[in-house]
Amino acid sequence: MKRRTFLKLGCASSSLALLPTNIFANSTKNSILKNAQVNTAAHWGVLQLSVKNGKLVDSKPYYKNKRYNDLQYYTQDLIYKNRIKYPYVRKSFLKNPNDNKPELRGKDEWVRVSWEDALKLVSKQLLKTRKTHGANGIFAGSYGWKSPGNIHNSRTLLHRFMNLTGGFVGSLGDYSTGASQVIMPHVVGSIEVYEQQTNYELILENTKLLVIWGANPIDTLKIAWTVSDEQGLDYMQKIKDSNIKVICIDPYASTTVKFFDKAQHIRPRPNTDTAIMLAMMTYLYENNLYDKEFIENYTVGFEKFLPYLLGKNDGIKKDITWASKISGVDEQTLIELTKSLKNNLSLIMSGWGMQRAHHGEQPHWAMVTLCAMLGHIGKAGGGFGLSYHYSNGGVATTNTPVVGGVNANLVGKWSNDEFLGIMGAKFDSNGHLIQGDEDESIKNTGQSWLAKTSDAAIPVARIADMLLNPNKTIEHNGKKITYSDIDFIYWVGGNPFVHHQDLKALRKAWQKPSTIVMNEIYWTPSAKMADIVLPVTSLYERDDISMSGDYSNYSIVPMKAAVNKYEESKDDIEIFYELLKYYAFYFSTQNNKDENYAATLAKKLQNAYLDNAKNSFELVEKYYSQALARTSLELPNFQAFWQENKALEFEATQDSFEFVRFADFIDDPILNPLGTPSGLIEIYSTTIEKMNYDDCKAHPMWFEPIEYLANTSNPSSFHLLSPHPSHRLHSQLCHTSLKDTYTIKGHEPCLMNPEDAKELNIKDGDLIELSNERGSVIAGAKLDEGVLNKVVVLAEGAWYDPDENGNCKYGCPNVLTLDLPTSKLANGNISHTALVNVKKYTGKKVKITAFTPPKGAK
């Protein structure tokens, strides 16, 4: 097989003799000790690892005085469980890449191949797609919570490779905040969801009422996009111990609700938050309780919004009675909530779940409008915040020099020579890539792949729609986007066959491209759906660097390799570096160039990819040293920092302890305007009005969701919520032994109200089946009185374990969710808008295979 494949790929070894060798070989082995204590970092914090005889035996938190975080103790499983050991190719694909039976993705047997053969195959397929479809035929948007390291950021490394070889179709936004990050710039001039928040010390000092609305920070503050500084949970404890009154608004008793055990818990029907907020606004207005001065000085469009609120243009007054019927929350509770928010300096900490719903643009727009009427925005400890539950927003920022990292763009001195010129890449006299909209001559000839990439990017959650409907045009935030006809997918650092909605539809869409390649650590559900799988190192097998605290910049953390690379796995940066060698050869062959040309091109591409560094470790040193050069602080040089292997911690500045979101704007809205067209908070947006969308108007509104409890006549319908899990980071850690602490009979737990369970003859610990027209899922029943009646809670992130019909045997909720956009404005996902039927599972015992390597894999 090796010989036949080798010959079929059409490359004799002598033809590659002149090409660059692998400079990454044994790049970390010399620095790894067989017996050592190694400090490193992950999304869930800084870790202390114990290595004995070259094997990781223990994982503990680096900081001993922080709240317990169960995610920090399972690093061994992340190194040794469910790993992809070697490069693999799907059997039908290997037999004939041109007739590869895509319907067998996820079912076919796998064949082990050499790294050389795998990289040749990827190169040839990528070049074939570029020749037949151009850059618009390649989707490399990828998506996922990749490594927190600054060097080994797999998604960035993929994009850098694709930019260097001719471009790709990318993606816009993210699944977490797809609706809010589009609507908020229209309302307050910034995305808000990833902005620093009013400092926690000011909350402890000034806030009288804290409303945690649709957020679960006790679970979500276990993690961060980079490395958690682990301070947010400490502040949650301080709030609990303070005199601040806490109200939690959530359809179920989350970990946070149970943590704040003395808090009032209000349980609305899912997807009805906007209706509640509108009713509260009506109450404030009709009882003359709203802050007229704030509305007049800091907002625009209130007078245009008011007729809708009072029902003068549709005959429906958005009052307390109206909202109570929709939300299921009694009228007196809503009135008392409104009065409490007005009469006390109040802060609303909002989560993102409410905007991952049909018409998800509306809740946070309504929340800003409500807070404007209350008049607490810009006060120390008042207003609203959309990022307290994420990455420790609200923790004071330090004066640390920021450590940079690899980016997707090419840098360095270049010329418009024939090598890169014939690929479509052009450079100015300073060696910078020329963007298509900056060079009309290139743009007009269609040679600027950068322009194509920008034009073809899709809202991230619309990938299945794009694959199923090539050349379809959609509306997006005032523009039109035409889907590309995707022939090649390259995915790294993510798990789409867990996080995307309506997975059976995605399975169908996944049959469309001719080639799907994945760089992956584990045999995830997504890896099993690829054609070519390349084994990647875990972050514990490579050297890197990061900073802890997305907002605080609390420390600079060395991420030192603890163990040798697992079996034949390689770093992503190494894979793309080597791939460039084979790509250069085949590219040269296609263009009738000789071996010397191919060798020169390969060297040039590889040097560009590494910014002329010798290897990836040199980049670690480079970015640390650059940060060191930008600060007047006395810090150790790189060699001392790396040898010491400890986090460099920094003190927060006094200014950051006094930071109040929107304070400068409130102090002087003329000198410190917001980034909106008016410079003010836009309750009414003329920009959105001009878009003339039927599903997102010029002011916050109540739109009935396509599926929710108040508009169904089916007595067996339950509203499915799929929040962030308590014991994972999305799908990360799902395959570790941590799952043994929470699964029920080997399945994901599903929370439901005991009264609902009794009616269905379901007992705690029974297996249940959740189903709708999209599919079915088997889960374990966990009865909880804190769950609202007719609501079930099945956390997202469970590994998809499809049966022969595509239904999930293990408990992945995204078999059941709708793959529809929030609206034409943002095209976010609506994972929290879904109705399901629930019954006791009485079928035959199922075999869980989600964590088993596929047929043919060793």
- C-alpha span between 28 and 9 (Å, rounded): 31
Helix (H, G, I), strand (E, B) or coil at 552: coil
pLDDT for residue 1 is more than 60:
no
Domain ranges of the chain: 2-173+403-644, 180-397, 709-840
Least confident among 216-220, 597-601, 639-643: 597-601
Question: Which amino acid does the sequence have at 205?
Answer: E
pLDDT for residue 499 is more than 50:
yes
Helix (H, G, I), strand (E, B) or coil at 756: helix
**Both structure tokens of 818:** 């709708």
- Per-residue pLDDT at 455: 59
> Within the chain, how many helices (H) and strands (E) appear?
30, 29
Contact 735, 799 (CB under 8 A): yes
CA-based max dimension of the chain:
86
- Per-residue pLDDT at 438: 29
- Per-residue pLDDT at 141: 87
Sign of torsion, CA 461 464 467 472? negative
Least confident among 25-29, 179-183, 568-572, 630-634: 25-29
pLDDT for residue 29 is more than 70:
no
Question: Which amino acid does the sequence have at 597?
Answer: Y
Q: What is the mean pLDDT of residues 188-198?
A: 97
Q: What is the mean pLDDT of residues 532-544?
A: 98
The secondary structure of the chain in percent helix, strand, coil, rounded to multiples of 5, reads 35, 15, 50
- C-alpha span between 767 and 365 (Å, rounded): 40
- Per-residue pLDDT at 25: 57
The tens digit of pLDDT for each residue in 260-309 reads: 999 999 999 999 999 999 999 999 999 999 999 999 999 999 999 999 99
- Per-residue pLDDT at 375: 98
Residue 617 contacts by C-beta under 8 Å, 6 or more apart in sequence? 27, 28, 543
Q: Which of 478, 583, 602, 471 lies closest to 169 in space, CA to CA?
A: 471
pLDDT for residue 453 is more than 50:
no
Q: What is the mean pLDDT of residues 554-579?
A: 97
- C-alpha span between 572 and 536 (Å, rounded): 6
Least confident among 138-152, 167-181, 417-431, 781-795: 417-431
A 10 A CB-CB count for 485 gives 17
Residue 743 contacts by C-beta under 8 Å, 6 or more apart in sequence? 749, 780
**Residue 597 parent element (H or E):** helix 595-609
3-state secondary structure 108-155: CCEEECCHHHHHHHHHHHHHHHHHHHCHHHEECCCCCCCCCCCCCCHH
Catalytic residue among 143, 194, 554, 609: 143
Contact 147, 154 (CB under 8 A): yes
- C-alpha span between 344 and 340 (Å, rounded): 6
Phi, psi (rounded to 5 degrees) for 840: -70, 135
- Give the residue carrying structure tokens 């936004």: 173
Q: What is the mean pLDDT of residues 553-580?
A: 97
- Per-residue pLDDT at 413: 41
DSSP 802: B
Residue 430 pLDDT level (bands cut at 50, 70, 90): very low
Domain 709-840 of CATH type 3.30.56.10: no
Q: What is the mean pLDDT of residues 575-583?
A: 97
- Per-residue pLDDT at 159: 94
Q: What is the mean pLDDT of residues 144-173?
A: 94
pLDDT for residue 385 is more than 80:
yes
pLDDT for residue 180 is more than 80:
yes
* Overall CATH class of domain 180-397: alpha beta
414 is catalytic: no
Catalytic residue among 88, 145, 490, 810: 145
**Residue 42 parent element (H or E):** strand 36-42
pLDDT for residue 429 is more than 80:
no
Domain 2-173+403-644 of CATH type 2.170.120.40: no
pLDDT for residue 678 is more than 70:
yes
- Per-residue pLDDT at 14: 45
Residue 170 pLDDT level (bands cut at 50, 70, 90): very high
Give the distance, in angstroms, between the CA of residue 820 and the centroid of all CA atoms in the same chain.
18
Label residue 99 exposed, middle or buried (CB < 10 Å: 0-12, 13-18, 19+).
Answer: exposed
DSSP 731: T
Query: Does 709-840 match 180-397 at the fold level?
Result: no
Q: What is the mean pLDDT of residues 820-832?
A: 98
Residue 713 pLDDT level (bands cut at 50, 70, 90): confident
Residue 472 contacts by C-beta under 8 Å, 6 or more apart in sequence? 465, 466, 482, 483
- Per-residue pLDDT at 712: 80
- C-alpha span between 16 and 13 (Å, rounded): 5
pLDDT for residue 4 is more than 70:
no
Q: Give the strands of the sheet with 110-112, arranged side by side.
A: 110-112, 88-90, 532-535, 515-520, 488-492, 138-139
pLDDT above 90 as % of the chain: 87
Q: Are strands 45-52 and 36-42 parallel, antiparallel or unpaired?
A: antiparallel
Helix (H, G, I), strand (E, B) or coil at 207: coil
Q: What is the mean pLDDT of residues 306-333?
A: 98
The tens digit of pLDDT for each residue in 731-774 reads: 999 999 999 999 999 999 999 999 999 999 999 999 999 999 99
DSSP 397: P
- Average per-residue pLDDT in the chain? 92
Least confident among 25-39, 149-163, 578-592, 661-675: 25-39
pLDDT for residue 416 is more than 80:
no
**Radius of gyration (C-alpha) of the chain in whole angstroms:** 27
390 is catalytic: no
The tens digit of pLDDT for each residue in 42-59 reads: 999 999 999 999 999 999
pLDDT for residue 13 is more than 90:
no
